[in-house]
Amino acid sequence: MSVLEQDTMEQDTLLTQVVSDRDSLAEVIEATALRATDPFSHKVTRTYLPREAAELIGCSPSYVNTLAKELDLDVSRDSSNRYRSYSLSNLRAIREEAARRVADTPEKRQRYLPHRSADEDLAIMAFVNFKGGSAKTTTSVHFAQYAALRGYRVLFLDLDPQGSASTIFGYQPVLIEENQSINAALRYENPLSIREVIQKTYFEGIDICLGGQWMTEWEQDTPRVMTNAHHYSAAMQERVPELQAELNTPGLTEDRIDEIEQELAQWQHVEDTGYAALHYYQRLRHVLDEVKDDYDIVVCDTQPALHFASQATIGASNHLLLTIQPEWLDIKSMHQYLTALGVHLETLENSVHFVGESAKYTGRTMHYLITRYESNDAAMNSIVEMMRDRLDNVLDHPMPKSAAVSQAGLSNSTIYESQGKDFNRGTFNRGLDAMNAANREIEEIVLKGWGRI
């Protein structure tokens, strides 16, 4: 066999495999398409026993039962018909009723219904880091669900082209259409209103803007639009006054006036999109302005990079959560991240000069959240000690490596939507307690930002 024949055969084999694997995957994706476009049909949240419901709402189990009865709520019961359990929708109704009954005392009302007041800023939380696999998605989705269970109105933004968080919320990233993804609101050409992009999730209290492949478009569009604007700016400065002068010339035909107006509109479009791309790091913030009154907390999951979308997320956020697994390679990677972040934050601060005061942020914070921590690992403990010694704002509660979290993750799910009975009881309770403790501390960052504590 000649070398050429051998090459052709090898290529054929490779090509055959690629085509065959692609087609097999297409079949699988098609078969799950219905599930993927309708997460409500296959994702359900669990219900909560009176004791759990009472803990979440902040009252006694008997008060929960009383209010449910008085509101005549449709409540689930176990097979013996003895034990009630409450859905997320039940929890919301009970919360609202409890708050209504103490409407005269704002502090008590706020305990049941913690929505922010007009003088408290929308809390935009970004879970960030360079390092892939540092638990940004796991932690951000768990925090969003915890916050919703506590009664906050949450908007989740999946800003990662991998679309992992969208997957946990029941979508298949490859099947997300462009106009369903957050890119549709961020893009420079024909952006949609963010209201058209936001979707309800099966987890009541959380709305979502999906991520996925379309986010890579924004990464590519931003420098392209910026470069276009630079490229055309000299031509624009020359051409626009010429057109305006011609427009003022008497005796122009209707057709010519139309032509000139169309060309002027095109130049205006280049200028507007170019300006928007130049200020890309402000774009998410402006986009969110439209819906800020509908939410208390925005949770952003980002890609493991500091590209345009992550920079725009940082530009929008008032609280950064750096998730870090306590290992040396991760620490070194985080050092690189802090270097890049420092440069980006300087740009943001300088932008106040030309964007104006709106670029200013007050009360911005950054905290480190230790993730996938193993308390019996001596090397990890020495890194945690070093972090606490050297860095500001390392959260007290690390998120331990938990078999319950990874088991839930295997079915694209979280510990908050899992039933304890599907797990080893001790493992589940330990995982849940640790997750609650870490999330409570993150909630405190929000509450401090609002000046409540």
Q: Which stretch binds Mg ion (CB under 5 A): 161-169, 191-199, 239-247, 360-368?
A: 161-169
CB of 371 to ligand ATP, least distance (A): 5
Residue showing the smallest CB distance to ligand ATP in the complex: 409
Nearer Cβ to Mg ion, position 162 or 222? 162
Q: Restricting to residues 119-148, which ones interact with Mg ion according to CB under 5 A?
A: 136-137
Nearer Cβ to ligand ATP, position 39 or 211? 211
Nearer Cβ to Mg ion, position 98 or 438? 438
Closest by CA to 162, choosing from 317, 10, 335, 305, is 305
405 part of the interface to ligand ATP, by CB under 6 A: yes
Show the tokens assigned to 400.
């331990």
CB of 368 to ligand ATP, least distance (A): 14
Helix, strand, coil content of the chain in percent (nearest 5): 60, 10, 30
Single-letter code of the amino acid located at 158: D
Binding partner selected for residue 45 from ligand ATP, Mg ion, none, CB under the kind-specific 5 to 8 Å limit: none
Q: Which stretch binds ligand ATP (CB under 6 A): 166-174, 213-221, 223-231, 401-409?
A: 401-409
CB of 57 to Mg ion, least distance (A): 31
Nearer Cβ to Mg ion, position 164 or 282? 164
Nearer Cβ to ligand ATP, position 351 or 402? 402
Site string for ligand ATP, 125-164 (x = CB under 6 A): -------xxxxxxx---------------------x-x-x
Closest by CA to 370, choosing from 450, 298, 441, 299, is 441
- Separation between Cα atoms, residue 19 and residue 219, nearest integer Å: 29
Closest by CA to 396, choosing from 340, 348, 439, is 439
Please pick, from the candidates 170, 398, 409, 449, the single residue that binds ligand ATP as defined by CB under 6 A: 409
In 361-424, alpha helices (H): 378-390, 403-410
Closest by CA to 401, choosing from 429, 375, 368, 438, is 375
Show the tokens assigned to 304.
């493991």
Burial of 156 (0-12, 13-18, 19+ CB in 10 A): buried
Angle at 372 between CA 366 and CA 374, to 5 degrees: 120
Nearer Cβ to ligand ATP, position 130 or 188? 130
Residue showing the smallest CB distance to Mg ion in the complex: 137
Binding partner selected for residue 95 from Mg ion, ligand ATP, none, CB under the kind-specific 5 to 8 Å limit: none
371 part of the interface to ligand ATP, by CB under 6 A: yes
- Separation between Cα atoms, residue 297 and residue 147, nearest integer Å: 8
Residue 115 main-chain phi, psi, to 5 deg:
-50, 150
Nearer Cβ to ligand ATP, position 94 or 383? 383
In 3-state terms, what secondary structure has residue 366? strand
Q: Which stretch binds ligand ATP (CB under 6 A): 2-10, 19-27, 308-316, 395-403?
A: 395-403
CB of 17 to ligand ATP, least distance (A): 26
406 part of the interface to ligand ATP, by CB under 6 A: yes
The answer to whether 225 and 283 have CB atoms below 8 angstroms apart is no
164 part of the interface to Mg ion, by CB under 5 A: yes
CB of 411 to ligand ATP, least distance (A): 11
Helix 88-101 vs helix 50-57: crossing angle, to nearest 10? 50
In what order do the strands lie in the sheet containing 206-209? 199-200, 206-209, 154-158, 297-301, 123-128, 319-324, 365-373, 399-400
The answer to whether 266 and 228 have CB atoms below 8 angstroms apart is no
Please pick, from the candidates 401, 416, 446, 449, the single residue that binds ligand ATP as defined by CB under 6 A: 401
CA distances from 338 to 125, 129, 164, 290 (A): 17, 9, 24, 31
- Separation between Cα atoms, residue 109 and residue 151, nearest integer Å: 12
317 part of the interface to Mg ion, by CB under 5 A: no
- Separation between Cα atoms, residue 384 and residue 376, nearest integer Å: 12
CB of 302 to Mg ion, least distance (A): 8
372 part of the interface to ligand ATP, by CB under 6 A: yes
304 part of the interface to ligand ATP, by CB under 6 A: yes
Nearer Cβ to ligand ATP, position 367 or 401? 401
Closest by CA to 411, choosing from 7, 104, 44, is 44
CB of 412 to Mg ion, least distance (A): 12
Q: How many residues bind ligand ATP (CB under 6 A)?
A: 19
CB of 422 to ligand ATP, least distance (A): 16
Residue 367 DSSP label: E
CB of 65 to ligand ATP, least distance (A): 34
The answer to whether 88 and 147 have CB atoms below 8 angstroms apart is no
Q: Residue numbers of the site for Mg ion (CB under 5 A)?
A: 136-137, 164
Binding residues (CB under 6 A) for ligand ATP: these are 132-138, 160, 162, 164, 304, 371-372, 399, 401-402, 405-406, 409
